[in-house]
Every structure is written in structure tokens, then in C-alpha cells.
């Protein structure tokens, strides 16, 4: 069972649109929101843990990301639109 996202462990339910980042120590630019209600910003590399500069709460930076569905016309012509390969089992099922 996932401690971070237990709702994703149901065997018969597909997960909601989401993904997981595999951190490789690269640079990140991120706005963060703490449980104390304050927000802060970080630019740098190797952000595996972060400490709120307001209340001192420590966090592990998880790799879970949420995918927000959008109409195709928003990104269809963007050079930033990525077209990943299908999973091998899906390719084999397609025939």
C-alpha cells in the first residue's frame, strides 16, 4: 500500500490522471505551499527535501504529479507537446 497515495492502491480501479517523476538531480524551479498557509519559491538542483522558511516544517519532495485534462487545441501545435511511446503490452495488444 502506498503511504503517500493510498487511494491509488485499489486493485480494480485505474488511477486518476497522474504520473511519477524520476528525480535525477536536475535543476528545478518550483513554487511550494506549506501546511502553515505560506508559499515560497525554490530555484536550484537536487531538491529531494525542502524546509519551509516560515514555520520550519520539513518535507520530502515526492515524485507524484497530477495530469490535468485539457482540450487538444490548447497544446496540439506546441513544440512542448510530448508524444511518449505506448507501453509494450499495449503495442502487442494492438496487433
**pTM for this predicted structure:** 0.62
User: 64 is in which domain, residue-wise?
Assistant: 16-93
User: pLDDT tens across 2-44, in order?
Assistant: 555 544 555 557 778 888 888 787 888 899 999 999 999 999 9
Residue 53 lies in a domain: yes
Number of domains forming the structure of the chain:
1
Residue 9 lies in a domain: no
Residue 3 lies in a domain: no
User: What are the CB-based long-range contacts (under 8 Å, 24+) for 52-56?
Assistant: none
Residue 27 lies in a domain: yes
CA angle (53 as vertex; 50, 54 as ends), nearest 5: 130
Residue 79 lies in a domain: yes
User: pLDDT tens across 49-61, in order?
Assistant: 999 999 999 999 9
Residue 47 lies in a domain: yes
Q: What is the spatial distance between Cα 35 and Cα 68, in angstroms, rounded to a whole number? A: 23
Q: What is the spatial distance between Cα 53 and Cα 71, in angstroms, rounded to a whole number? A: 38
Amino acid at each position: 500500500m502506498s503511504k503517500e497515495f493510498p487511494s491509488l492502491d485499489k486493485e480494480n480501479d485505474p488511477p486518476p490522471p497522474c504520473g511519477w517523476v524520476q528525480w535525477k538531480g536536475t535543476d528545478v524551479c518550483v513554487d511550494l505551499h506549506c501546511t502553515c498557509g505560506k508559499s515560497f519559491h525554490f530555484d536550484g538542483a537536487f531538491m529531494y527535501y525542502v524546509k519551509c522558511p516560515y514555520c520550519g516544517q520539513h518535507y520530502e519532495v515526492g515524485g507524484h504529479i497530477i495530469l490535468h485534462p485539457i482540450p487538444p487545441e490548447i497544446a496540439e501545435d506546441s513544440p512542448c507537446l510530448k508524444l511518449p511511446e505506448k507501453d509494450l503490452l499495449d503495442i502487442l495488444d494492438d496487433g
